[in-house]
């Protein structure tokens, strides 16, 4: 398929453009040559008429019976001449007729009798004229000389211009016809040489696989190819980063799942080996807790996988405060076990455009972390505030907090702050960060209640202006 090859397409376009330009130039040259020859012929006929006007009757008679060959070159006139290059090869005898002042013919070419042109009336004024004599076209020039009292009329066959112009055109066209194939070969080779970096690039890309994702380097790259090479290298970099993240995620997930599974196995073995029914029950409760922890970890891993592939999710206007109430109710038992007081404040009707389930997961993780890592008998504040064009959702606690050097790592997967004894997988804030990113929200970490503990702030683009403000203790 011709269109499938850039090289062929470029060659055809270049040659077509050149042929078009050459064709226009040839037509223009032909037209210019026609005009030049026409002007030259008219000047030559006028010059011949002036010469004849100066001759006496005797010389005119002699000249009339002789042949006046007005060709510039005679066919075969010079040894070694190339007839094909002769611009004036066809026979061309000039005829003339000289009239006295009374209109009587003083002398004339005998051939005019055969052409029935002996008695042609003279034009009223001097100048050129094209006429047909004996079925053949002639160029004629009439000279009325008042000083001598003579009128001279010269006739020349009309093959002159066509002969000369065709010669000029052939000499212009011949190099074109010879040069076009040569130019086609040169263009083909030149374009092939110019496209060589693309071939080298394709070979370099073909050599890449999952084990070899280093940037493509093909040496000096043309300006037009550089954006393509840069884009490919960026793609390889993202792919390498994605694979590394996937390998790390898989390794960390396997490690995190291994711990609760090992604990479940141990507790199950204890339950099987323990004859005491009460101890068996305790062991089985721990097995159930381990299964719940493993199930929650698996759900979180699946959610991260969905967010990582940027799975499209439907959105709708929701009130974060309403979702926060549900999350607080879901974590109420855990809060009561640690004697933690929880309060929801702010713009309770502020709206964002998001997916309710994901926002529920986000808030559930934030509240669960605040309870889990907060102090016994502590305080948790959940606030929803409409600030400008954004809605800020914050969850703060007054627990031991996190070292400043570890704040930036809290959103890393499976990272757990130093000194934390609470059970967990280290995925909570990582999930919060991915959900926030998915909906174009900003995540910030800082000091908690009264400068203690931790505050997590997620700022969403607002869906609409908040209508009311409220204060709702829980």
Do the Cβ atoms of 324 and 347 come closer than 8 Å?
no
Q: What is the pLDDT of residue 85?
A: 47
Two structure tokens written together for 296: 């929650």
Task: Please give the Cα distance from 142 to 472 (Å, whole number).
Answer: 118
Task: Please give the Cα distance from 47 to 37 (Å, whole number).
Answer: 15
| Nearest of 224, 206, 192 to residue 216 by alpha carbon | 206
Q: What is the pLDDT of residue 257?
A: 65
Reported CATH class of domain 226-308: mainly alpha
SS3 of residue 162 by DSSP: helix
E strands, 95-227, where? 95-99, 105-108, 127-133, 136-145, 150-157
The phi, psi pair for 471, rounded to 5°, reads -140, 115
Each domain of the chain, given as residue ranges in start order, spans: 2-182, 226-308, 316-473
Hey, do 226-308 and 316-473 end up sharing a CATH topology, with the first three levels equal?
A: no
Report the CATH number of the 316-473 domain: 3.30.565.10
Dihedral angle computed from the Cα positions of residues 386, 387, 393 and 399, in that order, rounded to the nearest 10 degrees: -120
| Nearest of 128, 100, 120, 118 to residue 44 by alpha carbon | 128
Q: What is the pLDDT of residue 154?
A: 92
**Residue with the two structure tokens 């009128």:** 151
Concatenated DSSP letters of 335-366: HHHTT-EEEEEE-TT-EEEE-HHHHHHHHHHH
Q: 214: which DSSP letter?
A: P
Concatenated DSSP letters of 58-126: HHHHHHHHS--B--SS-TT-STT--GGG-TT-S--B-EEEEE-TTS-EEEE-THHHHTT-TTPPPPSSS
Q: Split the chain (474 residues) into runs of 10 and give each run's mean pLDDT.
A: 64 83 79 78 85 86 80 48 48 84 86 86 86 86 82 83 65 75 82 79 79 76 77 83 71 61 79 83 80 71 63 77 86 84 85 83 85 85 87 87 70 56 61 82 84 87 56 40
């Amino acid at each position: 398929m011709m269109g499938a090859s850039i090289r062929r397409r470029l060659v055809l376009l270049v040659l077509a453009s050149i042929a078009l330009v050459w064709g226009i130039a040839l037509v223009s040259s032909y037209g210019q040559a026609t005009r030049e020859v026409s002007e030259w012929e008219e000047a030559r006929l006028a010059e011949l008429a002036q010469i004849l006007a100066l001759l006496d009757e005797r010389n005119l008679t002699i000249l009339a019976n002789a042949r006046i060959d007005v060709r510039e070159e005679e066919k075969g006139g010079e040894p070694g001449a190339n007839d094909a290059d002769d611009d004036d090869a066809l026979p061309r005898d000039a005829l003339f007729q000289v009239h006295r002042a009374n209109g009587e013919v003083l002398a004339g070419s005998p051939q005019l009798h055969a052409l029935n042109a002996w008695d042609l009336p003279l034009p009223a004024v001097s100048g050129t004229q094209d006429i047909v004599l004996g079925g053949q076209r002639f160029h004629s020039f009439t000279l009325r000389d008042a000083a001598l009292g003579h009128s001279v009329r010269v006739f020349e066959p009309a093959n002159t211009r066509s002969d000369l112009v065709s010669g000029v055109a052939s000499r212009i066209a011949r190099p074109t016809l010879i040069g076009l194939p040569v130019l086609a070969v040169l263009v083909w080779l030149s374009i092939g040489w110019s496209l060589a970096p693309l071939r080298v690039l394709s070979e370099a890309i073909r050599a890449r696989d999952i084990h070899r994702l280093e940037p493509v380097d093909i040496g000096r790259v043309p300006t037009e190819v550089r954006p393509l090479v840069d884009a490919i290298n960026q793609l390889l970099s993202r792919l390498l980063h994605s694979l590394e993240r996937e390998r790390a995620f898989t390794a960390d997930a396997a490690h995190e799942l291994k711990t609760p599974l090992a604990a479940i196995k141990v507790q199950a073995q204890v339950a099987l080996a323990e004859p005491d029914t009460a101890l068996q029950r305790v062991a089985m409760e721990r097995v159930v807790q381990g299964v719940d922890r493993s199930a929650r970890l698996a759900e979180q891993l699946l959610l991260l996988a969905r967010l990582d592939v940027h799975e499209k999710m439907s959105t709708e206007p929701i009130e974060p405060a309403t979702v926060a109430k549900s999350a607080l109710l879901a974590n109420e038992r855990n809060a009561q076990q640690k004697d933690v007081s929880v309060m929801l404040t702010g713009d309770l009707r502020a709206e964002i455009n998001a997916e309710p389930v994901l926002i529920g997961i986000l808030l559930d993780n934030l509240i669960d972390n605040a309870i889990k890592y907060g102090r016994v008998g502590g305080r948790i504040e959940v606030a929803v505030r409409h600030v400008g064009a954004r809605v800020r959702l914050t969850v703060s606690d007054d627990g031991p907090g996190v070292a400043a050097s570890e704040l930036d790592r809290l959103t890393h997967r499976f990272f757990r702050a130093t000194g934390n004894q609470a059970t967990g997988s280290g995925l909570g804030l990582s999930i919060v960060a991915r959900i926030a990113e998915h909906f174009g929200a900003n995540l910030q970490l800082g000091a908690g209640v009264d400068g203690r503990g931790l505050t997590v702030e997620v700022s969403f683009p607002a869906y609409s202006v908040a209508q009311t403000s409220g204060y709702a203790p829980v």
